[in-house]
Structure 1
Amino acid sequence: MRLVIARCQVDYVGRLTAHLPMAQRLLLVKADGSVSVHSDDRAYKPLNWMSPPCWLIEDPDVWTVQNKAGEKLVITVEEVLHDSKHELGVEPGLVKDGVEAHLQELLAEHVTTLGEGWSLVRREFPTAIGPVDLMCRDDGGKSVAVEIKRRGEIDGVEQLTRYLELLNRDPLLAPVTGVFAAQQIKPQARTLAEDRGIRCVVLDYDKLRGIEPDEYRLF
């Protein structure tokens, strides 16, 4: 990654033209070849950019970034205030907070969220077609299979349906009911689940983590 802070003007020439008058800006030159021009008041969005594949021809006063289509980003540099290079290494990718594994772990710890007197039998309960996220017992001692998603869609309901069909063949477990738990459940998925006798539960991730809502309360 190369970071250049410079007083410059920028002209884009291609299917249309665009002009940025002389001002101080941040120029980002990335390892993938892309060049983007940023100001201090536009959050993450660049003022203008050239995406790869493209190449940079750098003269002392003029940078020309061009792609295969012949489009050009011409940066006229009046003064360079900062110029540095940094090796960032391999990007491991985004790890989202609240992914299904976290939800499964939290719900296993707080299984009474699903009902008073409920208990956990096992996480990742094995079946011949894959593991059920949670196997629980309700307050009456009956088996309940719980499928957990961040976003509840029809595919998740179908998945839980297949698990239930298989689990109910086991006389030691049957009858097994199902719970479809997610942070959001689409209306079509809820309709299908309820039609098949599957209970839907919307999970509050912050509440499972013990985080109180940041709101004023009267009581």
Structure 2
Amino acid sequence: MRLVIARCSVDYIGRLEAHLPMADRLLMVKADGSVSIHADDRAYKPLNWMTPPVTLTEQEITDEDGEGIGVQLWIVENSKKEQLRITIEAIHSEMSYDLGVDPGLVKDGVEAHLQQLLAEHIDTLGEGYSLVRREYPTAIGPVDILCRNADGEHVAVEIKRRGGIDGVEQLTRYLDLLNRDELLAPVHGVFAAQEIKPQARTLAEDRGIRCVVLDYDDLRGIESNELRLF
């Protein structure tokens, strides 16, 4: 993990163009190659970012005589030739630290049980669905469930108790990675939760991700209150 607090401007060059004017920001470069630019608000969401695989080139801007003018240019480019061009006027602080391998999120009992129950009753997602694997491994963490739909296409399922925007973002990253695998693509997404927030549903549907509300009691089967010997 590399953290740089710097006065910078950022230009995105790709399908659209976006510009962040000169200001103090946090630049974050992770071990997986992702680069993100943060302001001191917006909670966890970056102002702009680029997911791996990317290349990061750092160079010093010079004048007509080839002399450095104290300004750096970072060029972050992905496989689609989209670029983040970060012009750094001044670096206030910089540090690097190896965080090591993260053990991943430990799900609470209900969320883990939802995953188990949905895997056992995968046809809850639709007729003809079949399970491939629970906790399907990827380079950025395991997908809760990987299955196939009735057409034989792969479907990645992210399961939450309460589905928020962060869960949609997490599934989006999984889908981006899984769809690069020719043996799996195309991979569709399902965001499944006991409760899905309206903003999360809107974001998911905008990205072509289907939302499914899970009934925990229905999945596990509501036990009868009648007395019985066995």
Please report the TM-score for the alignment, with normalisation by the length of structure 1: 0.52
Structure 1 residue matching 2:176: 3-state secondary structure: helix
Match of 2:175 in 1: 164
Match of 1:203 in 2: 214
Q: Which letter does structure 2 place at the counterpart of 1:179? A: V
Q: Which letter does structure 2 place at the counterpart of 1:107? A: L
Bigger radius of gyration, 1 or 2?
A: 1
Match of 1:187 in 2: 198
Deviation at 1:211? 1.4
Q: What is the alpha-carbon distance in structure 1 between the residues aligned to residue 212 and residue 161 of structure 2?
A: 12
Alignment of 1:111-190 (within 5 A): 111-190=122-201
Alignment of 1:85-124 (within 5 A): 99-124=110-135
Deviation at 1:212? 6.9
Alignment of 1:27-38 (within 5 A): none
Q: Which letter does structure 2 place at the counterpart of 1:161? A: T
Q: What is the alpha-carbon distance in structure 2 between the residues aligned to residue 144 and residue 213 of structure 1?
A: 34
> Can you list the C-alpha shifts for 1:69-95, whole angstroms capped at 9, x where unaligned?
xxxxxxxxxxxxxxxxxxxxxxxxxxx
Q: Which letter does structure 2 place at the counterpart of 1:109? A: E
Q: What is the alpha-carbon distance in structure 2 between the residues aligned to residue 125 and residue 213 of structure 1?
A: 35
Q: What is the alpha-carbon distance in structure 1 between the residues aligned to residue 223 and residue 189 of structure 2?
A: 29
Structure 2 residue matching 1:99: 3-state secondary structure: helix
Match of 2:24 in 1: none
Check whether the contact 1:146–1:179 (CA below 8 A) recurs between aligned residues: yes
Deviation at 1:140? 0.7
Check whether the contact 1:145–1:164 (CA below 8 A) recurs between aligned residues: yes
Aligned-residue Cα RMSD (Å) equals 1.8
Percent sequence identity over aligned pairs:
83
Structure 1 residue matching 2:140: 3-state secondary structure: coil
Identify if the C-alpha distance between structure 1 residues 213 and 207 changes in structure 2 by more than 3 Å, giving closer, same or farther.
Answer: farther
> Can you list the C-alpha shifts for 1:101-141, whole angstroms capped at 9, x where unaligned?
11000000000000011000000000000000000000110
Please report the TM-score for the alignment, with normalisation by the length of structure 2: 0.50
